[in-house]
A and B are shown apart, each in its own frame.
Chain A
Amino acid sequence: MARTNSVNFTGANQFPIASAGTDIFKKEDVQVATKSLDLHDHSAGLGLPIAAGAIAAGSIDGSKLTDNTVTSAKILNGTIAAVDIASAGVANDNLGPDTARANLLTNGGFEIWQRGNGPFTTNASYTTDRWSLWIDAGDSITASRDTTNVDASSGFCVALTYTKSTGATHPHFQQYLGAADYPQLGGRVLSFSMRVRCSTPNAVRLAMSVDGGSTFLYSPYHSGNGTYQTLTFISGIVTNAMYMGVNFQASCTAYLDNAMLVVGSQPANYVPLHPADDLARCLRYYEILGVGSDLIVSGIATAGAQTVYQAWPYRAVKPVNPTLTLGTWSASNAGAVAMSALSNSVLRLSLASSAAGAFYSQNTQAVTLEANP
Chain B
Amino acid sequence: MSIYVTDFTSPTEWQVSHDELGHGGTIDPTTVKHVQNLDGSENHNFLVIQCPMCDSVSTHPVGGGAQPQSVQQMFVNHVAANGCPCGQVAPTDPDNLGESHVRLQVNRMDGPGRWQLE
A residues at B contact (CB < 8 Å): 115-116, 119-126, 178-180, 320-328, 338-340, 342, 350, 365-366, 368, 370-373
Listed A/B pairs (14) with beta-carbon separation below 8 Å? A115-B19, A179-B113, A180-B111, A180-B113, A180-B114, A320-B110, A321-B63, A322-B61, A323-B61, A324-B59, A328-B55, A339-B59, A372-B66, A373-B114
Does B58 count as interface, using CB distance less than 8 angstroms?
yes
- Closest Cβ of chain B to A203, distance in Å, is 26
Main SS of chain A's interface residues? loop
Q: Which residue of A lies closest to B112 (CB)?
A: A180
B104 within 8 A of A: no
Tally of contact residues, B, Cβ under 8 A = 37
A339 to B22, CA, bound (A): 24
Given contacts A342-B61, A366-B1, A370-B66, contact A325 B56 (CB under 8 A): yes
Q: How far is the CB of B60 from chain A (nearest CB, A)?
A: 5
Please state if A342 and B113 are interface contacts (CB–CB under 8 Å).
Answer: no
Contact with A along B44-87 (1 / 0, CB 8 A): 00101000001111111101111111110000000000000000
Question: Is B35 a contact partner of A320 (Cβ separation < 8 A)?
Answer: no
Give A173 Cβ to nearest chain B Cβ, in Å: 16
**Contacts A320-B65, A323-B2, A323-B65; is A125 near B56 (CB within 8 Å)?**
no
Please report whether the interface of chain B is mostly helix, strand, loop or mixed according to DSSP.
mixed
A325 and B35: CB pair below 8 A? no
B35–A339 touching, CB < 8 Å: yes
In the complex, what residues of A have CB within 8 A of residue B26's CB? Answer: none
CB-CB under 8 A from B60, the residues of chain A are 323
What distance in Å separates the Cβ of B39 from its nearest Cβ neighbour in chain A?
11
Contact A320–B114 (Cβ < 8 Å): yes
- Chain B residues whose C-beta falls within 8 Å of the C-beta of A115 in the assembled complex: 1, 19-20
Other A-B pairs, 7, CB within 8 Å; known A320-B110, A323-B65, A327-B54: A121-B22, A124-B6, A180-B114, A323-B67, A328-B54, A365-B56, A372-B67
**In the assembly, what is the distance between CA of A329 and CA of B20, in Å?**
18
B117 within 8 A of partner (CB):
no
Q: Which residues of the partner chain A approach B20 to less than 8 Å between Cβ atoms?
A: 115-116
